[in-house]
Amino acid sequence: MTQAFQPRLSRRVQSLPPYLFAEIERKVAAKRAAGVDIISFGIGDPDTPTPAHIVEALIAGARDPRSHQYPTNRGTAEFRAAVASYYDHRFGVSLDEETEIVPLLGAKEGIAHICFALLNEGDVSLSGDPGYPVYTAGPLIADGTAVHLPLRPELGFQPDLEAIDPAVLARARMIFVGYPNNPTGAVVQDDFFVRLVAFAREHDIVVVHDNAYADITFDGYIAPSFLETPGAKEVGVELLSLSKSYNMTGWRAGAVVGNPAVVDAYWRLKTNMDSGMFAAVQHAAAAALTGPQDGVRELCRLYARRRDLLVGALRHVGLEVASPKGTIYLWAPVPADHTSASFAELVLNQADVIVSPGAAYGPSGEGYVRFSLTVPDDRLHEAVERIAQRVKL
Ligand SMILES: Cc1ncc(COP(=O)(O)O)c(C=O)c1O
């Protein structure tokens, strides 16, 4: 018998970190197969639908034969005008529609591909730890090196820019930051963006600010754009995502905006990879950004209510969880005698509830678990009851 063909895989793919949720997923599958009712706080994917006027715009866009041809990676004039209008109204930031805006097939795609535009082999990309996992995988796939900057609660989960090793700084070409922050729920503090601009200038490092949770904030807090900071556009770009503000995770819609040289480099790269965002989705995204925003405010009220409910339940069982001003996550320290994985396992075993172990977001995430607030109200109530009654620390 001939041996089965074994494709030889790239070093790149082989160097990707192991999938940290594998063990939990295996357990969940086994429990579900045994008929156990599992409630998942694992993934941050909105459970409520996209607002109707955005869906209608997609339908109208899909009916327009002009949508049926290849789009361009530059984006339609309507889409770019809508992004510029949103930045103007929402942040008071003016963007050049010709040179400072390019669509992304979601911020995730932008995070991964911008690394190819900015890094050569061995160059360093800095990012907060814990952090969105693509900040680490993106540089790795682009043959760069991802260096973690620990985010500590005593510094408000802001990286200590002064503490970075000078040898690392000399090789650093880019830095990912994102506030409101996944997974910590932290919002940007004091003059951090001002210091970040000075840091980027001094060390010649491009800032990529991931603003995926810009509009998901609570208690009257309004999150800024990095581009509001004087000098920001000279050193960096911002990633806009429609996923969370408009419940559009499935649509893959966002934009990279800001420094024209970085935006252009990303665009040149992308013209060789895909043919841009479906024009009907661009039409719908424009409707989302320029249409009524009451859906966004309603979402914030929904998440704030869920946050309060869950924070109360977790404190009741003895977890010292902070109440975040933004994002759809709670970042809870686990009891001292647990690792993040062992605590996630305990909650799964005792309450049939899934939480994400913090170590999945980087080494400094050890000692925490993340709860996503994207669980429908009735299931959230059920989970809260289970946690309160069954979890014994
Ligand atoms: C910090 C952060 N950036 C980007 C993304 C992905 O956004 P998009 O759906 O626009 O790709 C997520 C999704 O959870 C996220 O948490």
Half-sphere exposure of 134 (CA within 13 A, CB side): 14
Cα 287 to Cα 51, 58, 90, 214, 291: the distances in Å are 10, 9, 15, 18, 5
- pLDDT tens for 175-217 read 999 999 999 999 999 899 999 999 999 999 999 999 999 999 9
CATH 3.40.50.720 at 52-290, yes or no: no
The Cα–Cα gap between 348 and 338 comes to 14
The closest residue, in CA terms, to atom 7 on ligand 1 is: 107
Q: In what order do the strands lie in the sheet with 254-258?
A: 101-104, 254-258, 236-241, 206-210, 172-177, 124-129, 145-150
How far away, in angstroms, is 8 Cα from ligand 1 center?
Answer: 31
Ligand 1 contacts CB of residue 210 (under 6 A): yes
As a whole number, the mean pLDDT across the chain is 95
pLDDT confidence of residue 103:
98
How remote is the CA of residue 153 from the centroid of ligand 1, in Å?
22
Atom of ligand 1 nearest to the CA of 183: 16
How do the domains of the chain map onto residue ranges? 11-49+294-390, 52-290
**Average pLDDT for residues 53-62, to the nearest whole number?**
98
What's the gap in Å between 107 CA and the centre of ligand 1? 6
What region does 95 belong to: left with phi over 0, alpha with psi -120 to 50, or beta? beta
* Cis ω before 183 (30° cut-off from 0): yes
Residue pLDDT, tens place only, 282-299:
999 999 999 999 999 999
As a whole number of angstroms, the distance between CA 203 and CA 224 comes to: 24
Q: Name the pTM for this structure.
A: 0.96
Looking at residue 360, the DSSP 8-state letter turns out to be G
Residue 231 CA to residue 229 CA, distance in Å, equals 6
Q: Which CATH class is domain 11-49+294-390?
A: alpha beta
Rg (CA), the chain: 21
